[in-house]
A and B are shown apart, each in its own frame.
Chain A
Amino acid sequence: MYIGKFWLLLALRLASPALGNPLDLDIVKHLETHCKPGAKMTDSKYFTTTKKGEIFELKAELNSDKKEKKKEAVKKVIASMTVGKDVSALFPDVVNCMQTDNLELKKLVYLYLMNYAKSQPDMAIMAVNTFVKDCEDPNPLIRALAVRTMGCIRVDKITEYLCEPLRKCLKDEDPYVRKTAAVCVAKLHDINAQLVEDQGFLDTLKDLISDSNPMVVANAVAALSEIAESHPSSNLLDLNPQSINKLLTALNECTEWGQIFILDCLANYMPKDDREAQSICERVTPRLSHANSAVVLSAVKVLMKFMEMLSKDLDYYGTLLKKLAPPLVTLLSAEPELQYVALRNINLIVQKRPEILKHEMKVFFVKYNDPIYVKLEKLDIMIRLASQANIAQVLAELKEYATEVDVDFVRKAVRAIGRCAIKVEQSAERCVSTLLDLIQTKVNYVVQEAIVVIKDIFRKYPNKYESVIATLCENLDSLDEPEARAAMIWIVGEYAERIDNADELLESFLEGFHDESTQVQLQLLTAIVKLFLKKPTETQELVQQVLSLATQDSDNPDLRDRGYIYWRLLSTDPVAAKEVVLAEKPLISEETDLIEPTLLDELICYIGTLASVYHKPPSAFVEGSRGIVHKSLPPRTGSSESAESPDAAPSGAPPSEQPAVIPTQGDLLGDLLNLDLGPPVSGPPVATSSVQMGAVDLLGGGLDSLMGDESEGLRSDVGGSPAIGGTGFTAPSAVMPANLGPPPSGGLGDLFDLAGGVGTLSGSHVAPKTVWLPAMKAKGLEISGTFSRQVGAISMDLLLTNKALQVMSDFAIQFNRNSFGLAPAAPLQIHAPLAPNQTVEISLPLNTVGSVMKMDPLNNLQVAVKNNIDVFYFSTLYPLHILFVEDGKMERQMFLATWKDIPNENEAQFQIKDCPLSADAVSSKLQGSNIFTVAKRNVEGQDMLYQSLKLTNGIWVLAELRIQPGSPSFTDLEVSRLYFPPPFFRCIQLLSSFHP
């Protein structure tokens, strides 16, 4: 360091003799005085201007004729700048030094410009000419430098001048310039996004993905990824097998940083089948041996994601699992900061695929000088990996940790012992004895933590370890934390009959009842009631006391309410009270802190990012998370598994179709919130609903036979439609009425024939189910559905999937007021509770006698669904044609008269594109959806159809359809009522074209 200082001194001295001024060595002095350790500095100190004289001197030097002097002066300016001093006053003088052939001086001036241009935009213009000239320089280094610096000058006026040079540099012959220019596009986009789009830079950037130089490719990918982040919807990185191939080639040859960008980009790609997934995996695997841990983790992300598509029976699947373990273990020998990020990610990986690291328990053992944040993470993973095979080792370690110094760590270690007991039944006894050993140490926080976990062990294994209660009771006095006190009280209450002095123990807590935290108060109340029910004779007084304390002297509503409930129970029916209070408790789950499966799947897609560190999806915390696209794991395509995976199938749904979830606000929702449990509307006879259900069942069965036996006669009716016979049906959506639109895979013509043929019997067009309420927004409940109309009955066909870890029950549904008074005609009947990962299909009959309120858009429907967890709200758009009634055919005369009477403002016209059908076909098809043809004419070679339909609320809609043979038809619509909402257009269009 001595040498370094000497160099600077020397440089400054040598630079100054011309002036004869023994330069005051400002930089050095400044650095010394300014950065003296100790005194904490405030921000203002950095931004006070330097002494007048100093600036003046620098000014003189900057304007000196001597190159050397100039350079040294600029250096001094830069040095002042880096420590936060304001030297912006020198702007014109520094910019004057820019035109030089000395590269170092040029670079220094550029550094200065980048810092201060923003504050002096007018002056910055002065620099533009030099930039433009430098972009033409024969030396590629200077061209690149110029374009790079220009992008960093965040002044609007300059950006205009930047476009031309940038365009040239993007096509420069030198790859070094091209790769710099690629990044510059991202910079420019940050300053002025519109400009970048208008100038077509995005397309040029996309072209660079197929550049011959891997570094250019990597930078183009990086720039596009960054731009895409602020434009989540714009399909910037539109990946196809071809571009993927280019990226994979570049991956092998570019720098480590480029590899990270490319891998992250690859992870967003959705391979079309398992074979493509496997071939990508094969080419990504070598990255696992890279020295840069970020490359390794990004590669792990790609592999974890694409592995989802591989069949587990595949040999390659097993190979891949084996290959993933060593790099993850290696990450743990890196610096602690890297370890921390790696551990947070391993935590996710272990939950998703525990088999990868099941043999690697030992690497997670804690070293006593690991930083605390590493220790805590390691502990977490140890518990996740704990199994019968390694439990002895784990317990020995945990016991060791429980005697360490750091309190947080010790607490977590004790808790971990309890979790092991609950997770691995065979170890419970050893865990309990370990915990007892720890209690013997009498270290206060260890004892308290131990008691909390022993309570959980009692719950998991009732009537097994009660012998230890005596030891626990000895420590009663030392408990000062609410959680430990509450746990102890629970134990006393639960086993009151075996503890002789239970009443005394509980009474001792009662003295300071009001000073206790709510948690303890509630627990005490319950425990004493339990005690009373078990030993009614001796404890009457005690229970009276606690009930009056809870109900009369407390201002906590929870406590009061619980007190009243007990009181009434006890006074009206003690037997019932016993049944309620001493009821058998549900089992506690093995692992309490597992991440919910849907969230876990999403987080797996974010391995290596901040989201994986926080275990939250980016939408939950990233600044300006506007429209971040939720990522999901690809569905498994291996044929053998398709049936068993309700968890994988729905995740492939395109995110764009997700309906908006109603925010919990607004008076609109007022009535939704008072969700009634009973049937809200006494609707039409239940017969409707049973007919409905019958139809579905019947058709479901019919479909099976259709798909099962090729020789069935029915098959000809379907017109040999590949859409139905083929692969279109995934398991959950298989039950659909026969006439409805198949998944949008084609065969529409055939379908139309079918609809025409079966005609009168069937109902109207039914759209495929879409996800209305994603699991992420409803604590694990996923609802998808569609609407249909069959034989005059409207129904809402729902598919409810439980993606949470707990059982769901007590479902109920209610609609908000809507334009047509749609309301459920029967309560939502789900008979059995919905187990995790179970899906239930239900058809909810609807009527239109609910209260009416005009919505915008007209066909908007807001729905509230309740279950035992919470109430969830979502909104969806229903197709209007479910409201077209069967007697919607108007008399010819009447039609003619009404048509003439309709005022002009009620008339609207629109055109339907790409309708390949003939007039007759359209007519019969529309009839299927209750749009009836009143008359048909042929005028000048064009078919004219006159249509009528009636809505459930009695509004008639009349339409004239003009069909030009062979070309798109033209429609003229008129209605007999004032408003004529746009949804009708869509509706008619949908029905007549059957283009979903």
Chain B
Amino acid sequence: MIHSLFLINSSGDIFLEKHWKSVVSRSVCDYFFEAQERATEAENVPPVIPTPHHYLLNVYRHKIFFVAVIQTEVPPLFVIEFLHRVVDTFQDYFGVCSEVVIKDNVVVVYEVLEEMLDNGFPLATESNILKELIKPPTILRTVVNTITGSTNVGDQLPTGQLSVVPWRRTGVKYTNNEAYFDVIEEIDAIIDKSGSTITAEIQGVIDACVKLTGMPDLTLSFMNPRLLDDVSFHPCVRFKRWESERILSFIPPDGNFRLLSYHVSAQNLVAIPVYVKHNISFRDSSSLGRFEITVGPKQTMGKTVEGVMVTSQMPKGVLNMSLTPSQGMHTFDPVTKLLSWDVGKINPQKLPSLKGTMSLQAGTSKPDENPTINLQFKIQQLAISGLKVNRLDMYGEKYKPFKGIKYMTKAGKFQVRT
């Protein structure tokens, strides 16, 4: 099982270590540093690194490497999932997960880590339960604690820990009972030169924020549940009910949680809400190239496309670019060759465009790679897959909760080849 954990910042300092079994010398990280050196970028460090006596599994999040040390045959996904859980917990506790914050809260971090694993076995990883065991630091609590002498470690057995619904504590009370659901879809797509779709798929999630008194039992039904043929549920969802009736029935955790994530595969036809027209030409033996891109909406069901951001990694031969946008701001970094253009909203009447010239390194032949354009955008009030919630009902409690559903479509990994 998981033996030790090292946190390493991007400059290669180990700033925290935690051992759940015997102590493993931090020199084991040297193997990690070697691998890090070989990889050109932090993102490219291989997730599994073998050493003579241990295996190092790492994830890179928030500019921190979380390196787990294992000694025996352990499912690597188990370890990686756990590391992600650690990151999420830190974020949940401290708002952000960064080196500074972790150092500032080192004792809480240590207590939390101790609570999350026992002898390398996961003990309490649900945020709900952890927060009952060790309360997250707030200024107010610190002051109160110092004055009253109480602690931020709970001395009660977390109620959820062993119940049939381990994700929910008992005795929840709210004056305003509310349940919000966000249907968020991300489109991953690759569009080829000519504008036709090579592959497009949707990663959707339903995130919930439920603040309801007592033990509410909710059901959520969809207008078109057939869209959801590839789903992963929060453990609270009753799978049998879904299988037979295509209804989500569950006792929700308290607070924020991800109810389900789903995947609409490339085989279904996925609507692409934007298009990019581009004309990028490098000419042989000329030190000038032409550059022109236009972004426009397409299949948006009348909704506005906003938060549009275009980035592109230009080839090395591009020395500089002189461009004029019809709207928004653009920058080009001559060192990293990264072009980014913050477009903002797309007005269908007046399509945003970015035109100009590129100065190329003289004497070199035209680059063999064409830049790929990366697109980000947001569309409110639209789930591009067409998924629609039909109704939400509550059983088990008497009060009338306030309910809300929000839809949003975003670009995930949306790439246009030129």
Contacts and interface: CB of A to CB of B under 8 A. Distances in A.
Interface in B29-78: 39, 43-44, 46-48, 50, 53-55, 57-59, 71-78
Contact of B258 (A184, A291, A293): A291
Contacts of B188: 333, 367
Contacts of A623: 53-54, 71-72
A329 B263 contact: yes
Contacts of B170: none
A38 B12 CA distance: 8
Contacts of A290: 232-233, 235
A298 B48 CA distance: 18
B104 A8 contact: yes
Interface in A216-253: 219, 222-223, 226, 229, 253
Contact of B233 (A213, A289, A371, A393): A289
Contacts of A289: 231-233, 239
Interface centre among A148, A341, A405, A608, by most chain B C-beta atoms within 10 angstroms, is A341
A397 interface: yes
A465 interface: no
Contact of A213 (B10, B13, B162): B162
A213 B74 CA distance: 25
A13 to B, nearest CB: 9
B94 interface: yes
B13 A176 contact: no
A23 to B, nearest CB: 14
A111 B105 CA distance: 16
Contacts of A333: 188, 201, 203, 263
B369 A43 contact: no
A103 interface: yes
Interface string A324-355: 00110110010111101110000000000000
A82 B122 CA distance: 21
B101 A360 contact: no
B164 A608 contact: no
Nearest to A446: B368
A294 interface: yes
Contacts of B10: 37
A219 B119 CA distance: 11
B257 to A, nearest CB: 10
Interface string A199-224: 00000000000000101000100110
Interface string B157-188: 10001101010000000000000000000001
Contact of A363 (B105, B153, B266): B266
Given A31-B106, A141-B156, A297 B77 contact: yes
Contact of B13 (A41, A148, A400): A41
Contacts of A581: none
Interface stretch (B18-26, B274-282, B341-349): B18-26
Nearest to B21: A190
A495 interface: no
Contacts of B156: 141
A382 B115 CA distance: 43
A1 B12 contact: no
Contacts of A7: 104-105, 137-139, 142
Interface-central residue, A174, A255, A337, A443, by most chain B CB under 10 Å: A337
A6 B9 contact: no
B399 interface: no
B162 A215 contact: yes
A329 B265 contact: yes
Contacts of B239: 286, 289
B50 A621 contact: yes
For B22, B103, B123, the residue with the greatest tally of chain A CB atoms inside 10 Å of its CB is: B103
A365 B199 contact: yes
Interface stretch (A256-264, A571-579, A808-816, A912-920): A256-264
Contact of B119 (A11, A186, A338): A186
A37 B9 contact: yes
Most chain A CB inside 10 Å of its own CB: which residue of B21, B57, B73: B73
A362 interface: yes
Q: How large is the interface on A (under 10, 10 to 19, 20 to 34, 35 or more residues)?
A: 35 or more
A3 B142 CA distance: 11
Interface string A77-117: 01100111000000000000000001111011001000100
B15 interface: yes
Given A441-B368, A609-B76, A291 B234 contact: yes
Contact of A111 (B114, B143, B146, B157): B114
A896 interface: no
Residue among B22, B81, B111, B137 with the highest chain A CB neighbour number at 10 A: B81
Contact of A82 (B13, B17, B74): B17
A375 to B, nearest CB: 10
A338 B80 contact: yes
Nearest to A110: B114
Most buried by B among A223, A367, A622: A367
Interface stretch (A523-531, A589-597, A610-618, A976-984): A610-618
A3 B139 contact: yes
A7 B16 CA distance: 20
B221 interface: no
B245 interface: no
B155 A256 contact: no
Contacts of A613: 48, 76
A293 B77 CA distance: 7
A336 B125 CA distance: 22
A227 B235 CA distance: 29
A535 B153 CA distance: 90
B57 to A, nearest CB: 8
A651 interface: no
A936 interface: no
A371 B40 CA distance: 11
B77 A4 contact: no
A31 B16 CA distance: 10
Contacts of A40: 11-13
Given A82-B17, A289-B233, A371-B43, A1 B78 contact: no
Interface in B92-135: 94, 96, 98-101, 103-107, 109-111, 114, 118-119, 121-123, 125-126
A46 interface: yes
A151 B22 CA distance: 11
Contacts of B121: 183, 219, 222-223, 257
* Residue of A335, A359, A614 contacting most chain B CB atoms (<10 Å): A335
A430 interface: no
Interface in A434-452: 441, 443
Interface string A729-744: 0000000000000000
Given A326-B230, A330-B230, A335-B59, A608 B149 contact: no
Interface string B359-382: 000000000111010100000000
B71 A1 contact: no
Contact of B26 (A43, A67, A79, A329): A43
A79 B155 contact: no
Given A152-B119, A184-B119, 17 more contacts: A7-B137, A35-B9, A35-B99, A43-B25, A79-B106, A139-B155, A226-B1, A257-B121, A291-B233, A291-B235, A293-B81, A298-B75, A338-B77, A365-B190, A365-B198, A371-B43, A613-B76
Interface of B: 1, 9-23, 25-27, 39, 43-44, 46-48, 50, 53-55, 57-59, 71-78, 80-82, 84, 94, 96, 98-101, 103-107, 109-111, 114, 118-119, 121-123, 125-126, 137-139, 142-143, 146, 149, 151-157, 161-162, 164, 166, 188, 190, 192, 198-199, 201, 203, 229-235, 239, 243, 258, 260-261, 263, 265-267, 368-370, 372, 374, 413, 415, 417
14 contacts: A4-B100, A82-B18, A107-B111, A115-B19, A290-B232, A290-B233, A290-B235, A326-B229, A342-B77, A363-B266, A372-B44, A608-B76, A609-B74, A609-B76
Of all A-B residue pairs in the complex, the 9 with the closest CB atoms, nearest first, are A326-B230, A104-B151, A104-B153, A4-B104, A294-B77, A337-B47, A257-B122, A362-B199, A37-B11
